[in-house]
Amino acid sequence: MVKILVFVESRDNKIKNAGIEAASKAYSVSKELGAEAEALLIGSSVTSIANELGAYGISKAFVIEDSRLEKYSTTAYAKAIAEAVKARGADILFLSATAMGKDVAPRVAARLEAGLAVDCTNLKIENGEIIATRPVYAGKAYIDLKINSPVKIFSLRPNVFKPQKSEKSNVSVEKLDIAFDDKDFSSQVKEVVVSSEKLDVSEADIVVSGGRGLKGPEHFYLVEDLAKVLGGAAGASRAIVDAGWRPHGDQVGQTGKTVSPKLYIACGISGAIQHLAGMSSSKCIVAINKDKDAPIFQVADYGIVGDVFEILPALTEELKKVMAN
Amino acid sequence: MKIAICISQVPDTTTKVKIGADGKSIDPAGVTYIINPYDEFAVEAALQLKEKQGGETIALIVGKEVSKEVMRKAYAMGIEKGILIKTDLELDSYAVARNLADVLNEINPDIIICGKQSIDYDDHQVGSLVAEMLGIPSISVVVGLTVEGGKVSAEREIEGGKEVVEAALPVVIATQRGLNNPRYPNLKGIMQAKSKPIEERQPTYTDNKTEILSMSLPKPKAKGKIVGTDVSAVPELVKMLREEAKVI
């Protein structure tokens, strides 16, 4: 029987949303393939949290526990995951295309001489094989691909595969014994620095971005005020990041972050092709721009052709009123 | 210190993607190739490291004849030596990494620096694959880097923050925007780059693990609504976002 192993990501011994999504998808794919799905958790103390996966169809979980695994180590986690695949005789490995997943997956692939499809946004089964769809060129195009190596690895883009609750099963949890030596921890996280209280554009449900139309960094508060009312994050076009108005981490676009929030509001952004690549998969797009021919209106669901200096304060005020009700 | 840099060629970011005749890749007609923007941070990091600590810089690229132009950009910025592993085959990340690892094994660098991903396939695999193949640590999405006393300390971006990661040399570093500001080549550099030789090698591994079946464009969006042309449109917009789009 084909076996799927899903690495369920946790941090500080708490399962991450992306981990639940991957576990749930592993279960649904296993049903479709007539396969078995097993979960893998790694950390210093993860046995007790494995039970949460029962609500998503997982009935068997394996844990690799070691005090040195409390903090993420690329090299040690790569070894742990690859050894678990071997120990369980898994044919397919799922993980999440998060910062951790993106970092560790290729190393696991190299260890297992396996093909890896990263950042998948859809998986379908054809003739018993998984065909993955994933964005390329920052979302300007998509490819369908399959993996031809004996072990196949798929990393799933977060926030795409909605977890499906299933009849709750009891999770049997077993420890996998993997022997680590110091060399396995050749890279080690020394410290995690959380950046203020600021919400990251790639994680926000609502993103309000500003561009050149704001005329100067001193006007960026217009974008931040609107983002604040909506409980969203403030993003920026490449032009104003290059001009030094905003930090690079806020940049949305092909050489910045790809975002797909439920609402994206582009303020004074013309919509260069690099920018559109990073945000056009947003569920609802609003554009506010003086130039009615700006390319941003091509991808916008709603637009106001007008001056950001007038529209933004009015929109912020209107939303304050509406949200208060 | 021996510093190796892995670079790649990508279509210019202004490229409008059109699907090619094979249905699996982009139509190359009219496409201009540039050095992958994330690799410019890698080149800059290598040059800064060399300027501070001395040593030599060697760039590697897996690609076609057109890749030579990209290598010349790296030369113009200040890279001293370049190796092109030349193939007309479309290799996947695994195969590219194997070819790089084979040459790197022979060069035996103290540090290997590459961009975190190429902006065509956005695969973010090659740096970490190479590191595992060489049996050395890797740090990806790096926005801060210190190399001292045979050790590196790097800051890497994660969701909502940064991780500070330490590792001993040799190590692979995959660079992210924000690490540095890549220099512009000066005229002298550009002129010298033109005549500098590029060593050519044959690929040592051409066996892809993945197979692209098709490429498609995202579905075009239905034409949006222009709600208005001044502040009077604001209440209507808010109403539509609440009642029609149901996003707030």
Rounded to 5 degrees, what are φ and ψ at B61? -145, 140
Are A263 and B208 in contact (CB < 8 Å)?
A: no
Cβ contacts (< 8 Å) between A256 and chain B: which residues? 177
> Regarding predicted confidence, which is higher, B13 or A226?
A226
How distant is the Cα of A166 from the closest Cα of chain B, in angstroms? Answer: 27
Dmax (CA) for chain B in angstroms is 69
How distant is the Cα of B15 from the closest Cα of chain A, in angstroms? Answer: 8
Are B248 and A105 in contact (CB < 8 Å)?
A: no
Are A142 and B224 in contact (CB < 8 Å)?
A: no
How distant is the Cα of A31 from the closest Cα of chain B, in angstroms? Answer: 24
Q: pLDDT band for A197, please (50, 70, 90 cuts).
A: low
Please list the residues that pair with A113 across neighbouring strands.
Answer: none
* The pLDDT of residue B203: 98
Are A146 and B210 in contact (CB < 8 Å)?
A: yes
- Identify which of A117, A147, A303 has the shortest CB distance to residue B226: A303
Task: Work out the number of other CB atoms within 10 angstroms of the CB of residue A318.
Answer: 18
Rounded mean pLDDT, B54-77: 97
Cβ contacts (< 8 Å) between B237 and chain A: which residues? 286, 302, 304, 315
Give DSSP secondary structure letters for B75-129: HHHT--EEEEEE-SS---HHHHHHHHHHHHHHH--SEEEEES--TTT----HHHH
In the numeric block, the tokens 């946790």 are attached to A10
Counting Cα atoms < 13 Å in the Cβ hemisphere of A284 gives: 18
- Identify which of A190, A193, A287 has the shortest CB distance to residue B166: A190
Are B122 and A137 in contact (CB < 8 Å)?
A: yes
* The pLDDT of residue B220: 81
Are A109 and B129 in contact (CB < 8 Å)?
A: yes
Rounded to 5 degrees, what are φ and ψ at B29? -60, 125
Helix/strand/coil for A9? coil
Distance CA A80, CA A22 (A): 18
* The pLDDT of residue A290: 97
Q: Is residue A97 over pLDDT 70? A: yes
Rounded mean pLDDT, B2-27: 95
Identify the DSSP state of B172. Answer: E
Distance CA A157, CA A146 (A): 17
Pair A257, A242: CB distance under 8 Å: no
Contact map slice: B 194-233 vs A, CB within 8 A:
208-218, 221, 224-231, 233
> Regarding predicted confidence, which is higher, B151 or B161?
B151
Cβ contacts (< 8 Å) between A10 and chain B: which residues? none
pLDDT in tens, A40-82: 999 999 999 999 999 999 999 999 999 999 999 999 999 999 9
Q: Is residue A195 over pLDDT 80? A: no
Cβ contacts (< 8 Å) between A184 and chain B: which residues? none
Cβ contacts (< 8 Å) between B230 and chain A: which residues? 304, 306, 310-311
Percent of chain A's residues with pLDDT above 70: 99
A–B: how many Cβ contacts below 8 A? 270
* Mean of the per-residue pLDDT values of chain A: 95
pLDDT in tens, A244-259: 999 988 999 988 998 9
Q: pLDDT band for A9, please (50, 70, 90 cuts).
A: very high
Are B233 and A304 in contact (CB < 8 Å)?
A: yes
Strand pairing report for A129-136 and A141-147? antiparallel
Identify the DSSP state of B238. Answer: H
pLDDT in tens, A158-170: 988 999 998 878 9
pLDDT in tens, B189-224: 999 999 999 999 999 999 999 999 999 998 887 889
Residue type, A198: K
Contacts by A8-12, CB closer than 8 A, 24 or more apart:
A8/A39, A8/A40, A8/A41, A8/A53, A8/A61, A9/A95, A9/A96, A9/A98, A9/A100, A9/A101, A10/A41, A10/A42, A10/A43, A10/A46, A10/A49, A11/A72, A11/A100
Distance CA A211, CA A250 (A): 12
Task: Work out the number of other CB atoms within 10 angstroms of the CB of residue A40.
Answer: 26
Distance CA A169, CA A30 (A): 16
- CA torsion sign for A242, A246, A248, A251 is negative
Pair B216, B19: CB distance under 8 Å: yes
B151 in contact with A at a CB cutoff of 8 Å? no
B243 in contact with A at a CB cutoff of 8 Å? no
Residue type, B217: L
Closest chain B residue to the Cα of A238, Cα to Cα: B177
* The pLDDT of residue A39: 98
* Mean of the per-residue pLDDT values of chain B: 96
- Identify which of A104, A189, A305 has the shortest CB distance to residue B163: A189
Counting Cα atoms < 13 Å in the Cβ hemisphere of A34 gives: 4
Rounded mean pLDDT, B43-52: 98
Token code pair at residue A100:
């951790």
Burial (CB < 10 A; 0-12, 13-18, 19+), residue B246, is exposed
Distance CA B4, CA B1 (A): 10
Token code pair at residue B68:
């030579």
* The pLDDT of residue B219: 84
Rounded mean pLDDT, B28-36: 94
Q: Is residue A307 over pLDDT 90? A: yes
Helix/strand/coil for A258? coil
Rounded mean pLDDT, B78-84: 98
How distant is the Cα of A97 from the closest Cα of chain B, in angstroms? Answer: 10
Token code pair at residue B231:
């502040």
Q: Is residue A196 over pLDDT 70? A: no
Are A322 and B238 in contact (CB < 8 Å)?
A: yes
Contact map slice: B 161-200 vs A, CB within 8 A:
161-168, 171, 177-178
Q: List, in order, residues 6 or more apart from A322 with CB less than 8 Å away.
A: B238, B242, B248
- Identify which of B16, B24, B165 has the shortest CB distance to residue A190: B165
State the complex-level ipTM: 0.94
Contact map slice: B 55-114 vs A, CB within 8 A:
92-94, 97
Rounded to 5 degrees, what are φ and ψ at A239? -55, -45
